[in-house]
Each structure stands twice: as structure tokens, then as C-alpha cells.
């Protein structure tokens, strides 16, 4: 991808949940290379699609929020799709805001350049580290990128969390055990399970099925005992 202008897909002016413990504005970067079946942001998946949101207007808004908001979270879509993400982050940092980043681990080489500018990262772990399982969700074979991104975060030493959206159509409790043990072995300290909220096209998943996946007592006990921070987000 080669783009010289940041493309914004949407904005949330105030959020208490996207950067843990911090009040942030959220900017949704346009474009995502993946096709997760549980995506609630389908409208911003098309890469570099023009729309009515303007980066300049967002920065103007931030100037008026200096001292009233602590941070800006770059979310998606997939922020690492955009080549000039680093310039956008620098512009926001110069206003005095902390920086949060949500990513699925796409383009680790880009992540490596961005990390020195970032205060906190939320990394999606979509499946066990098994090519077929990962590909079943994101529909392309990008597992190596995710593994390399996680290794970068572990070496970085900054604050980050891993999280998994628990979609019962693609993940079982056994899969969640595999993910949890892998992350534990690698040295991840913060891990969160996110209850899946069925998308409109999903006519099969019931609330019971979604709830069961985030309520297994043996798994929850393991997660509580083995991660410094763990919780189920519903």
C-alpha cells in the first residue's frame, strides 16, 4: 500500500473503554485487509475509500479538547494499513495526547516504526496460532504477521493487551484454552475475552452459545490465575 494522506472512516469523540483507564477520542482508520465474519465495522473495510470524514477536521476538534481528553486511540479498520499513520500520530502527540493503537497485527514492519510513538496497544488474537484456524476467520493467510507483531510487542516492553472475540461459529472452548496457554508461554500479561455480539447476517448464534464461550469456569479460573489482568468484556 502506498498512500500519502490519512483516510479516516469515522470518529468517536469521547470513549472511556477503548484505551483502558484513559479518556480518549477514537479515530477509526479507513480500510482493513481482513474479512472477519463478526465485523461490526464493515462500512470502513474498503481500503482508502473516500468519505466525508476529514483528518484535518479531527485535528481541529482535538485542539479544542486539549486538557479535557487524555488520549487518542487509533482504531479501525486496521490502522497499520495506512503508510502515513506515523505522521498522523506525531501530529496528535505534539498536541500533548497519549496514543492508543488497536491492531490485528498487520504489517509488523510498520508496527516496529510506530511503536516508539505509542503508549498502549490492543492486539487482536483471532484464533489459535494455527494457519487453517486463523485463515478461517480473516480469510487470508497472515498468521506469520500476527506472530511477528506479538513478538515485537513483547520485546517493546510497553503497555499492551491481547484480546479475542469469542465467536462460537469459529472458536470452541478448546481453542480458547490453546490461545490462553500460548499467550501465557510467550509472556503476555494482559488478556481479555470479548463476548461476540451476533452480526445481522448471523442467523445461527444464540445468546446462550455466545455466553457459554465466555463462561467456562475452568478456563476462567486458569485465565484469572495466569494473567495479571484478565476479564470478560460483554
Q: In the bound complex, what is the minimum distance in angstroms from residue 76's beta carbon to ligand SF4?
A: 5
Cell of 229: 489482568
- Identity of the residue, 129 or 222, whose beta carbon is nearer to ligand SF4 in the bound complex: 129
Greatest C-alpha distance within the chain: 49
Q: Does 39 bind ligand SF4 (CB under 6 A)?
A: yes
Residue 194, sorted as left (phi over 0), alpha (psi -120 to 50) or beta, turns out to be beta
Piece in contact with ligand SF4 (CB under 6 A), picked from 70-78, 155-163, 184-192, 196-204: 70-78
Task: Identify the three-state secondary structure at position 132.
Answer: helix
Q: In the bound complex, what is the minimum distance in angstroms from residue 127's beta carbon to ligand SF4?
A: 12
Piece in contact with ligand SF4 (CB under 6 A), picked from 50-58, 74-82, 150-158, 226-234: 74-82
Q: In the bound complex, what is the minimum distance in angstroms from residue 77's beta carbon to ligand SF4?
A: 5
Among 3, 41, 182, 205, binds ligand SF4 (CB under 6 A): 41
Peptide bond into 77 cis (omega under 30): yes
Tell me how far apart the alpha carbons of residues 202 and 225 are, in angstroms, rounded to a whole number.
34
What part of residues 126-155 is at the interface with ligand SF4 (CB under 6 A)? none
179: phi then psi, degrees, rounded to nearest 5: -60, -50
Candidates 131, 166, 211; CA nearest to 38 is 166
Task: Report the interface residues with ligand SF4, using CB under 6 A.
Answer: 32, 34-36, 39, 41, 45, 76-78, 104
Amino acid at each position: 500500500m502506498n498512500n500519502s494522506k490519512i483516510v479516516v472512516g469515522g470518529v468517536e469523540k469521547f470513549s472511556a473503554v477503548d484505551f483502558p483507564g484513559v479518556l480518549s477520542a477514537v479515530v477509526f482508520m479507513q480500510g482493513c485487509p481482513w474479512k472477519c465474519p463478526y465485523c461490526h465495522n464493515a462500512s470502513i473495510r474498503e481500503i482508502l475509500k473516500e468519505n466525508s470524514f476529514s483528518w484535518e477536521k479531527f485535528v481541529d476538534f482535538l485542539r479544542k479538547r486539549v486538557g479535557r481528553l487524555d488520549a487518542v486511540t487509533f482504531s479501525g479498520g486496521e490502522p497499520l494499513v495506512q503508510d502515513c499513520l506515523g505522521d498522523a500520530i506525531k501530529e496528535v502527540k505534539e498536541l500533548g495526547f497519549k496514543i492508543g493503537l488497536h491492531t490485528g497485527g498487520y504489517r509488523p514492519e510498520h508496527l516496529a516504526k510506530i511503536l516508539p510513538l505509542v503508549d498502549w496497544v490492543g492486539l487482536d488474537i483471532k484464533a489459535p496460532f494455527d494457519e487453517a484456524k486463523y485463515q478461517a476467520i480473516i480469510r487470508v493467510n497472515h498468521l506469520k504477521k500476527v506472530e511477528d507483531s506479538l513478538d515485537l510487542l513483547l520485546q517493546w516492553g510497553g503497555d499492551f493487551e491481547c484480546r479475542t472475540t469469542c465467536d462460537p461459529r469459529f472458536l470452541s472452548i478448546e481453542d480458547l484454552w490453546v490461545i490462553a496457554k500460548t499467550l501465557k508461554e510467550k509472556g503476555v500479561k494482559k488478556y481479555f475475552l470479548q463476548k461476540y455480539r451476533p452480526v445481522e447476517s448471523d442467523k445461527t448464534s444464540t445468546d446462550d452459545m455466545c455466553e457459554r464461550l465466555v463462561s467456562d469456569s475452568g478456563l476462567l479460573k486458569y485465565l484469572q490465575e495466569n494473567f495479571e489482568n484478565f476479564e470478560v468484556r460483554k
